[in-house]
C-alpha cells in the first residue's frame, strides 16, 4: 500500500515542474524582442549633424533628442579631440581621445570619464 502511494505522489508532482521551468524562458524571449525594437527605434530616431558650438568646439556625428548619442567626433577649441561613442551627451562606450600634444587614450568611457587604461 505505502509504496504505491509514494509512486503516485511523485508522478503528480512532475508535470508541475515542467511548465514552471518553461515560463521564465518565454518571459525572457519576450523581453528580448522588446529590447530589440527599442534599439531599432532609437537608431531610427538618431540624426547625423555637424555642429559648430559657441565656444569654438565642433561636433560631427549622431544626436538623439538633441544630445550627442551614438557615434561622433568632437573637436575641442584647444585642439583636443574625441572620436567614439556617446550616450545622452556624454562620452560613453569606446572611444579615442587625442590631446593637442598628440598623446592618445583609446579605451572605455563611462558617463563622460575614462574607464580603465588606454
| pLDDT of res. 11 | 52
pLDDT of residue 70: 96
Domain boundaries, the chain: 1-45, 47-115
Cell (9 digits) for 19? 511548465
Q: What is the DSSP letter of 57?
A: -
CA 42 and chain centroid, separation:
11
Q: Is the pLDDT of residue 18 over 50?
A: no
Highest mean pLDDT (candidates 25-29, 35-39, 64-68): 64-68
The residue ranking higher by pLDDT, 1 or 100, is: 100
- Whether 65 has a pLDDT exceeding 60, the answer reads yes
Asked if pLDDT for residue 12 goes beyond 60, the answer is no
Lowest mean pLDDT among 16-30, 35-49, 51-65, 84-98: 16-30
pLDDT value at residue 2: 58
Annotation: CATH topology of 47-115: Arylsulfatase, C-terminal domain (3.30.1120)
Q: CB of 84 within 8 A of CB of 68?
A: no
Q: Per-residue pLDDT averaged across 56-77, rounded? A: 95
Percent of the chain with pLDDT over 90: 54
Assign residue 29 a region (left: φ > 0; alpha: ψ between -120 and 50; beta: otherwise): alpha
Contact 79, 73 (CB under 8 A): no
Residue 23 has pLDDT above 90, yes or no: no
Amino acid at each position: 500500500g505505502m509504496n504505491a502511494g509514494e509512486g503516485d505522489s511523485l508522478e503528480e508532482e512532475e508535470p508541475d515542474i515542467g511548465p514552471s521551468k518553461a515560463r521564465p524562458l518565454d518571459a525572457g524571449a519576450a523581453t528580448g524582442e522588446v529590447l530589440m525594437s527599442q534599439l531599432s527605434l532609437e537608431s531610427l530616431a538618431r540624426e547625423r549633424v555637424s555642429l559648430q558650438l559657441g565656444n569654438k568646439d565642433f561636433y560631427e556625428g549622431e544626436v538623439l533628442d538633441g544630445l550627442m548619442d551614438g557615434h561622433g567626433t568632437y573637436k575641442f577649441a584647444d585642439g583636443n579631440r574625441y572620436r567614439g561613442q556617446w550616450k545622452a551627451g556624454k562620452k560613453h562606450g569606446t572611444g579615442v581621445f587625442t590631446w593637442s600634444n598628440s598623446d592618445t587614450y583609446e579605451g572605455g568611457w563611462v558617463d563622460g570619464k575614462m574607464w580603465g587604461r588606454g
